Amino acid sequence: MAASTAKDGMSGAQTAKSPKKAKVQVDESELLTVPDGWKEPAFSREDNPRGLLEESSFATLFPKYREAYLKECWPLVEKALGDLHIKVSLDLIEGSVTVSTTKKTFDPYAILKARDLIKLLARSVPFEQAVRILQDDVACDIIKIGTMVRNRERFVKRRQRLIGPKGSTLKALELLTNCYVMVQGNTVSALGPYNGLKEVRKVVMDTMKNIHPIYNIKTLMIKQELSKDPDLRMQNWERFLPKFRHKNLSKRKEPKKKSVKKYTPFPPPQPESKVDQELASGEFFLRESVKRRKKMGEIKVKQAEALTKKQEERNKAFIPPKEKPLMKTAKVPTEGKLDIAAIKEKVKKAKTKKLGAPPVIPLPPTSSTTDKKKKKTKDKG
């Protein structure tokens, strides 16, 4: 009996433990996915009532052309950071902006958000977009692209490729990633959710590596459509994404292929000199007067040939071109092939036709003309 009760107790304990394990497994799988519409609760003063122990501060430099804009929007910057109890100062002599915590600051991460805000303002991001960095679900990323391409002309072309014609490529990237992207000088400033910033950095880095942004934009469009389907969220998307092959087109000039001559141990024969040619023809032994006559005769023959060629070219302008006949000459039929019967029929048809103007058809008499004729007959009577 005791053994049976012990066994029953063991089995009860095992049954009690088994659902706990199943629950733990279910909880771990649920933790991997974030539910839709979930937001982290905001950090309030109740979470940190005593504030910060030490003061923290960050400073950044801004270019000269941003001074006028910072003066205009400075009251708005002070108001936005004043809500977080962060002190901000503008130094126009050194060209720097400094942010620091105060005794009233309770959020330790607010100073990092303020640091990102002044960085974005220095990189030509407008205040309306830069102030979004103070939200909890918005981050920023400043990508340095100035040192990625050595050639300046090539760098400018690739940076313009990222912007696209009339900013269309940049606008498409902003719509797909829900981020604000600003290309300025040697940096690209991005502002938005963390997932979008990751995609923006990848597109920018690939563009500077001579990969056109349209390829990455196409994959982002496909991923956006696939994420809408709840069945495909936990599956691998490699089969849906396009695969672009890299074409390695080298621009170097191909070397000319030299024809290899066969090796011969004997040297080539030396060309004959003028003296050797005169000795072979016998001109070497002639007198100078005879040589002059011969040369003059050759010159006169060449002159005569040149004159004839010139005369022929001049005479070509006086040769009339062949005229084409205006009308084709009608072939005169022979007497044997005349069709007399057909000619007779044509003559008969011509006789039946009436020539001249058509005959005038008289109009019917009206009532007025008939009355006049009656009056005339009465008067005669």
pLDDT (average), residues 363-373: 58
Distance CA 247, CA 245 (A): 6
- Residue 98: name the closest of 80, 129, 84, 119 by CA: 119
pLDDT (average), residues 315-325: 85
pLDDT of residue 15: 44
Q: Token digits for 226?
A: 């696939």
pLDDT of residue 16: 44
Is residue 127 very low, low, confident or very high in pLDDT (cuts 50, 70, 90)? very high
Distance CA 321, CA 315 (A): 13
Per-residue pLDDT tens digits for 299-315: 999 999 999 999 999 99
Per-residue pLDDT tens digits for 142-168: 999 999 999 999 999 999 999 999 999
- Residue 127: name the closest of 83, 173, 81, 85 by CA: 81
Query: In the predicted model, is pLDDT for residue 333 greater than 60?
Result: no
The least confident of 140-144, 228-232, 262-266, 372-376 is: 372-376
> Bigger pLDDT: 54 or 7?
54
The least confident of 48-62, 158-172, 201-215, 275-289 is: 275-289
Distance CA 112, CA 84 (A): 12
The beta strands (E) that lie in the chain are given as 57-61, 86-91, 96-101, 139-144, 180-184, 187-192
